[in-house]
Amino acid sequence: MAWNPSEIPDQTGRTFVITGANGGLGKHTTRVLAGKGATVVMACRNTTTAQQVADGIDGDVRVAALDLADLASVREFAERTGEFDVLINNAGLMNIPFSRTKDGFETQWGVNHLGHFALTGLLLDRIGDRIVTLSSVAHAMTPKLWIDDLNYEHRRYQRNLAYSQAKLSNLMFARELQRRLAESGSRKRSYAVHPGMAATDLFTRTETFTDRIAKPVIAVIGHSPTHAAESSLFAATTPDADPDT
């Protein structure tokens, strides 16, 4: 079924928290939701850039500091946050050189999955409606999840595989959260969404040889951020969206 963001109902009175909202899909998602009357909290590591983006968007848009690579920052953000309606776990890193988060985790897994996992858990009692987590079809590119070596201490680090492992973790988390919410009788819902192949700054920041070759192709055939954000917007705002599809 075709869907268009123009179908989004009025969001006045609803508050959305969006991680990584200062660029790419998060920026466009913020703009659309604010245009529909929502209050949007841009949860970003770089608050200077985020504030510049917020200043250029009409509506009730606020900026809050959140570094998903630092679990202390995640806890501090959660402590400052009151009740709201929708959490969109949008922030992400892709195919970066090996590094570790402040807490010692491999960065792609630590930021893309663990930071969002911790954030969602800390905020769950304050979320009134739903959680939307951005995954990716890239989850299928890893043969399995190496639970016993998530930090690449005993195997060679591969950027693409690390990204796939993080995206698989996102998908497993979102689906298991939905199962538990449904089992408990909660009216809250958890969605995993795939934005498609998008020509965003997430992709243009990658440095592998394969990615450098692919970038011109993605620029031509990839979805624009406007189009790619539609899956998040649909899941976040459609009253009867099925979390199991």
Give the catalytic positions in this structure: 163
Mapped onto helix, strand or coil, the DSSP state of residue 99 is: coil
Amino acid at position 9, single letter = P
How many other CB atoms sit within 10 Å of the CB of residue 71? 19
**CA 88 – CA 16 distance, rounded (Å):** 7
Phi first, then psi: give them for residue 120, nearest 5 degrees: -60, -45
> What is the bridge-based pairing of β-strands 84-89 and 15-19?
parallel
Query: Exposure pattern of 5-21 as b/e (b: 16+ CB <10 Å)?
Result: beebeebeebbbbbbbb
